[in-house]
């Protein structure tokens, strides 16, 4: 097994800048994830007082809303991550 | 006919395949109108689809290590997304999800949110980094990142326990479907199922499994969507029911309060009556149960090796990320259909204003229905007038949850060809997941245990033969266990997620996100979390212990994960930091460009 220790020639600053932005993006995504995964379903009873597209909102979030939000979240994150990679010249 | 290699013509190949499947479907529909029986149609559906998977498996045969373990890393994001979706959606998702929603109400929706939200974790924390690492298996990452055979071995053991728990449920499902569609005993159906599964994976390894899984996804998604949309149109619920069943859900709530959700006067074995409201969250403890279940399923998704290893097969890190996006989209198509199916089927049974209703009708009329007779004969349904008033009450209509998907076409009065299609879809779902799991187990044993630990000098040919012998051995062992019918499908599936997250979630996450994590910490995290989770499972499931704060056997990861995190952090900090080389390796993992960490 051959290990490649330093495969990429980029400066230490670029490396750190890239990781700092990647980390912030990830944290941002996980905060959004937390809301759709836990907060909205947790308050389903309260949200049910409102309605959305003919659904009670709490129900809607559990059967469609959060699911759709997860899909969108991943695509947005990837779009942003590609930009970050390009900014620091570490794209493939 | 085709210019260039197979991977340059994927669109054409799978486009033709889809068209071929639709033509076959139309042909079957035509045969039905000429009087061919339901059984014959069911048999032809299963045989035709399995023959195609076997052909793909045969054409993908290989003697190259890269092709066998990671499909040559040439699977484009879109197709890897489809393959992952098939890998992911098991017999349980296909057959049992809608039934679970039908009977389980709000608490059950924790599975729906958990099994989709987990992909956000896969994408943010795991997939791109594991792809950059260039490992063949998940223990390969753990072993290389932390160094040492101890960490690698722990990861192999947890992988085997989690995946084996899961795979028996899948083989069980293939056996059930085969036995019903082909009219053979369950014990024979199991062997028929495992044979089909092994043909797809044995010759081509990951390459064979990838291309059959794409084909299986196409069958399973058509088989799930067509009946629901057809039913919706036949029963006047709208062209695409997904966006308009809010009223149906509210009408169900009205009917439920009108009928009352009383338990049955007298239980009937194997079937149940509806006692949980369609959607009536109580807040507080109810919310806690939802959140703990969802968390276990999400963290489990991000730790299950058969899912993570799918992202090793893409050509680049970027493609790995993109394919997570496709995966969840393809999974979403089924998961946002299941609640619509559950709701509309329930409304059809409950609403006296609809022709299909059974509740509130006279017992003679209901017992005369053909679908009621069919399912009653096999013990999956029972209608008993326990109150003696001659009317079917809500608590006199008994059903097995997992027949909701299978019986819906018949309830809505659709032709039999739809039932054949559904059987083929269920088979595709169970087979594709079983293939992924078996391969994950066999690859970990052949690559990590045999090649990396026992015999690092083994030749390529020997390695690939060992890999195949293990695959067949594990498949047979799985079929043997499945034929004993030890657990219900869902229990085993939830356990697999909890085993995986208890042992592997934090070692994987911290391996990328915390440079200071070292081998001793990783071993402590894996052993501690897995032992704590397993102990708790044993105590609440068999040891007679009262669950703490509603944390039952489906959510034992809630105990395992924090123990794993604490053990890993504390032991890492008490022992020396990893070497400069390892820390550089972690830095390198975090950027997409450059060579993979492991050069095989």
Question: What domain count does chain A have?
Answer: 1
B121/B317 Cα distance (integer angstroms):
16
Is residue B159 scored above 80 in pLDDT? yes
Q: What pLDDT score was predicted for residue B487?
A: 54
B426 domain residue, yes or no: yes
Cα–Cα distances (Å) from B531 to B145, B302, B487, B527, B567, in that order, read 22, 20, 21, 6, 12
In the Cβ-directed half-sphere of B158, how many Cα atoms lie within 13 Å? 39
| DSSP single-letter state for residue B401 | G
Q: Cα–Cα distance between A54 and A50 in angstroms, integer?
A: 10
Give the CATH number for residue B502.
1.20.1730.10
Domain total of chain B: 1
The rounded distance, in Å, linking the Cα atoms of A88 and A81 is 11
Contact A3 B585 (CB under 8 A): yes
Any CB–CB contact under 8 A between B321 and chain A?
yes
Lowest-pLDDT range of A65-69, B234-238, B320-324, B368-372: B234-238
Q: How confident is the model at residue B489 (pLDDT cuts 50, 70, 90)?
A: low
For residue A1, the model assigns a pLDDT of 36
Q: Does B372 fall in a domain?
A: no
* Banded model confidence at residue B486, pLDDT cuts 50, 70, 90: low
List CB contacts of B489: < 8 A, sequence separation 6 or more: B91, B92, B95, B96, B169, B172, B173, B402
User: What ipTM was predicted for this assembly?
Assistant: 0.94
B279 at A interface, C-beta within 8 A: yes
User: How confident is the model at residue B143, as a pLDDT?
Assistant: 95
- Residue B178's pLDDT is 85
Residue A28 reports pLDDT greater than 70: yes
- In tens, the pLDDT along B536-585 reads 999 998 888 898 999 999 999 999 999 999 999 999 999 999 999 999 99
The stretch A48-53 carries a mean pLDDT of 92
Look at residue B95 and tell me whether its pLDDT is greater than 90: no
Q: What is the pLDDT of residue B96?
A: 85
- Number of A to B CB contacts under 8 A, please give it: 179
Instruction: Check whether B443 has a pLDDT greater than 80.
Output: yes
Are residues B170 and B164 in contact, defined by beta-carbon separation less than 8 angstroms?
Answer: no
Whether A92 is covered by a domain: the verdict is: no
Distance of alpha carbon B92 from alpha carbon A41, whole angstroms: 23
Cβ B147 vs Cβ B478: under 8 Å: no
Q: Alpha helix locations (H) across chain A?
A: 12-34, 40-42, 44-47, 57-60, 66-87
Residue A61 lies in a domain: yes
Q: What is the pLDDT of residues B585-594, one digit of tens each?
A: 999 999 999 8
A8 pLDDT above the threshold of 80: no
Q: Decide: helix, strand or coil at residue B36.
A: coil
B223 domain-assigned = yes
Q: Contacts of residue A30 in chain B, CB cutoff 8 Å? A: 120, 124
Share the mean pLDDT of chain A: 90
The pLDDT score that the predictor gives to residue A3 is: 40
Residues B112, A67: contact at Cβ < 8 Å? yes
pLDDT per position as a tens digit, B106-129: 999 999 999 999 999 999 999 999
Q: Is B457 on the interface with A (CB under 8 A)?
A: no
For residue B144, which residues of chain A lie inside 8 Å, CB to CB?
1, 3
B120 contacts A26? CB cut-off 8 A: no
pLDDT band of residue B329 (cuts 50, 70, 90) is: very high
Q: Residue B20's CB: how many other CB atoms inside 10 A?
A: 12
Write the DSSP symbol of residue B391. B
Q: Is residue B391 part of a domain?
A: no
- Is A20 within 8 Å of A87 (Cβ atoms)? no
Position B490 scores a pLDDT of 53
Q: Which domain holds residue B157?
A: 9-346+413-589
Provide DSSP, B258-327.
HH--PPPSS--TT-B---S-SS---STHHHHHHHHHHHHHHHHHTT-HHHHGGGGSSSSHHHHHHHHHHH
- The CA distance from A42 to the nearest CA of chain B, in Å, is 5
pLDDT of A2 reads 37
Q: What average pLDDT does chain B have?
A: 92
Model confidence pLDDT, tens digit, residues B169-194: 888 888 888 887 888 888 888 898 89
Structure tokens at A28: 């941002």
pLDDT at residue A31, rounded to an integer: 98
Contact B217, B432 (CB under 8 A): yes
* Residue A76 located in a structural domain: yes
Token output for B493:
């599936």
The whole-angstrom separation of Cα B182 and Cα B43 is: 6
**pLDDT recorded at residue B4:** 63
Question: For residue B378, what are its two tokens?
Answer: 């096999």
Question: Over 70: is that where the pLDDT of B447 sits?
Answer: yes
Interchain proximity A41–B581, CB inside 8 Å? no
Question: Can you tell me the mean pLDDT for B322-347?
Answer: 95
> Given this model, what pLDDT does residue A83 score?
96
CA distances for B379 relative to B187, B363, B374, B398, angstroms: 18, 18, 9, 10
d(CA B318, CA B77) in angstroms, rounded, equals 9
Residue A3 lies in a domain: no
Answer whether residue B303 shows pLDDT above 90. Answer: yes
Q: Which residues contact A19 (CB under 8 A, 6 or more apart)?
A: B587, B590, B591
Q: Does residue B546 fall inside a structural domain?
A: yes
The domain in which residue A32 lies consists of 14-87
Q: B416-443 and B77-88 are packed helices; what angle lies between their axes, rounded to 10 degrees? A: 100
As a whole number, mean pLDDT of residues B440-452 equals 95
């Amino acid at each position: 097994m051959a290990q490649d220790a330093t495969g990429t020639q980029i400066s230490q600053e670029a490396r750190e800048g890239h990781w700092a932005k990647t980390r912030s993006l990830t944290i941002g995504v996980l905060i959004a994830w937390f809301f759709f995964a836990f907060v909205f379903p947790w308050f389903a009873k309260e949200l049910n007082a409102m309605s959305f597209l003919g659904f009670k909102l709490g129900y809607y979030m559990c059967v469609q809303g959060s699911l759709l939000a997860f899909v969108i979240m991943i695509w947005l994150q990837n779009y942003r991550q590609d930009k970050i990679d390009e900014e620091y010249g570490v794209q493939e | 006919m085709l210019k260039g290699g197979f991977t340059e013509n994927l669109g054409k190949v799978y486009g033709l395949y889809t068209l071929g499947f639709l033509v076959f479907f139309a042909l079957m529909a035509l045969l039905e109108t000429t009087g061919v029986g339901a059984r014959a149609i069911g048999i032809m559906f299963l045989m035709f689809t399995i023959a195609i998977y076997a052909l793909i498996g045969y054409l993908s045969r290989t003697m190259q290590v890269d092709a066998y373990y990671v499909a040559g890393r040439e699977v484009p994001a879109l197709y890897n997304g489809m393959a992952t979706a098939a890998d992911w959606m098991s017999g349980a998702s296909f057959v049992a999800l809608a039934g679970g929603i039908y009977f389980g109400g709000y608490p059950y929706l924790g599975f729906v949110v958990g099994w989709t939200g987990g992909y956000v974790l896969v994408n943010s924390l795991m997939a791109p980094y594991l792809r950059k690492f260039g490992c063949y298996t998940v223990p390969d990452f753990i072993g290389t990142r932390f160094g040492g055979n101890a960490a690698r071995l722990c990861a192999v053991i947890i992988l085997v326990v989690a995946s084996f728990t899961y795979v028996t449920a899948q083989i069980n499902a293939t056996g059930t479907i085969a036995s019903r569609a082909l009219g053979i005993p369950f014990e024979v159906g199991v062997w028929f199922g495992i044979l089909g599964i092994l043909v797809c994976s044995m010759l081509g390894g990951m390459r064979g499994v990838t291309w059959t899984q794409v084909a299986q996804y196409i069958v399973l998604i058509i088989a799930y969507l067509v009946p629901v949309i057809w039913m919706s149109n036949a029963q006047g619920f709208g062209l695409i029911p997904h966006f308009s069943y809010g009223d149906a859900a509210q009408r169900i709530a009205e009917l439920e309060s009108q009928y009352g959700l009383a338990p049955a006067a007298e239980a009937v074995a194997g079937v149940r009556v509806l006692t949980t409201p369609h959607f009536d969250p109580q807040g507080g403890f109810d919310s806690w149960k939802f959140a703990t279940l969802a968390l276990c399923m999400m963290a489990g998704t991000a730790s299950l090796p058969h899912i993570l290893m799918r992202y090793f097969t893409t050509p680049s890190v970027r493609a790995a990320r993109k394919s997570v996006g496709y995966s969840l989209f393809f999974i979403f198509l089924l998961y946002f259909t299941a609640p619509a199916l559950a709701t509309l089927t329930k409304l059809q049974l409950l609403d006296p204003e609809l022709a299909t209703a059974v509740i509130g009708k006279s017992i003679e009329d209901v017992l005369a229905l053909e679908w009621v007779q069919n399912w009653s004969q096999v013990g999956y349904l029972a209608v008993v007038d326990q109150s003696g008033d001659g009317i079917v009450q809500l608590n006199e209509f008994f059903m097995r949850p997992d027949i909701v998907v299978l019986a819906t076409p018949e309830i809505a009065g659709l032709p039999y060809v739809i039932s054949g299609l559904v059987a083929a879809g269920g088979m595709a779902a169970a087979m594709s997941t079983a293939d992924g799991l078996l391969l994950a187990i066999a690859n970990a044993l052949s690559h990590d245990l045999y090649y990396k630990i026992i015999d690092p000098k083994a030749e390529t040919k020997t390695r690939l033969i060992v890999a195949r012998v293990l695959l067949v051995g594990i498949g047979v062992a799985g079929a043997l266990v499945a034929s004993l019918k030890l657990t219900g499908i869902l229990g085993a599936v939830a356990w697999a997620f909890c085993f995986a997250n208890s042992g592997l979630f934090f070692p994987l996450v911290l391996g990328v996100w915390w440079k200071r994590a070292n081998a001793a910490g990783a071993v402590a995290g894996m052993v501690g979390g897995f032992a704590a989770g397993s102990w708790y499972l044993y105590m609440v499931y068999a040891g007679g212990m009262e669950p703490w704060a509603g944390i039952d056997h489906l959510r034992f990861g809630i105990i395992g994960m924090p123990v794993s995190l604490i053990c890993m952090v504390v032991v890492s900090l008490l022992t020396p930091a990893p070497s400069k080389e390892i820390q550089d390796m972690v830095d390198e993992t975090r950027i997409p460009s450059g060579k993979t960490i492991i050069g095989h």
